[in-house]
Amino acid sequence: MTIIRIKVYSGDITKVKCQAIVNAANTSLMGGGGVDGAIHRAGGSKILEECRKIKASQGGCKVGHAVITTSGNLDAEKVIHTVGPVWSGKGDEKELLRRCYKSIFKLAVVNGITEIAIPNISTGIYKFPKDIAAEIAICEAKGFIKCNKTFHQIIFVCFDRENYRIYKEILGDID
């Protein structure tokens, strides 16, 4: 029997019960709109406090990198904040988005996380084409999970219908 470790949910990531959730932040780590705003609102001031400390010590977070904080009032134990690229269609955005996923999984392993919920990074305010972003996200997740047999699960949380449809189409009807 194959145990399916990549899942697709539809809805709000702040409501997902999972060991860690990922935030699509910006380089300042000081909060914003979209999923970033939702996570800070639901998680409360503890998250921003830790983000401030990280900003003071390393000047925020570069595109393609990731940092980890407490989850404040959220059910998750940790929040991993990554910064996706802004889509222009002319630069190395695909590679930078790939790097986001690699950075997330690396931080998860270092912190003993084996279950993670991830939003559709860069596909909102940063305007990355949803189909290309989904191919990258799923390719990186499959590659990671193949090499990390003890990792329990990766949940892609799709807030909008189009992303949900794209993920279901790529992964097949798996839930």
Residues in contact with ligand AR6 by the rule CB under 6 A: 12-14, 24-26, 32-36, 38, 84, 119-126, 157, 159-160, 163
CB of 73 to ligand AR6, least distance (A): 15
Residue located via tokens 């193949």: 146
Burial call 49-64: b when 16+ CB within 10 Å, e when fewer = ebbeebbeeeebbebb
Q: What are the tokens at 13?
A: 């990531």
Residues recognised as catalytic: 36
Find the shortest distance in angstroms from Cβ 130 to ligand AR6.
Answer: 7
Nearer to ligand AR6, 72 or 84 (CB): 84
Neighbours of 133 (CB within 10 A): 24
Quote the tokens at residue 135: 């191919």
Q: How far is the CB of 147 from ligand AR6 (least distance, A)?
A: 26
Among 71, 68, 101, 70, which Cα is nearest to 84's?
101
- Using the minimum distance from each CB to ligand AR6, give the nearer residue, 34 or 143: 34
Q: Cβ closer to ligand AR6: 25 or 107?
A: 25
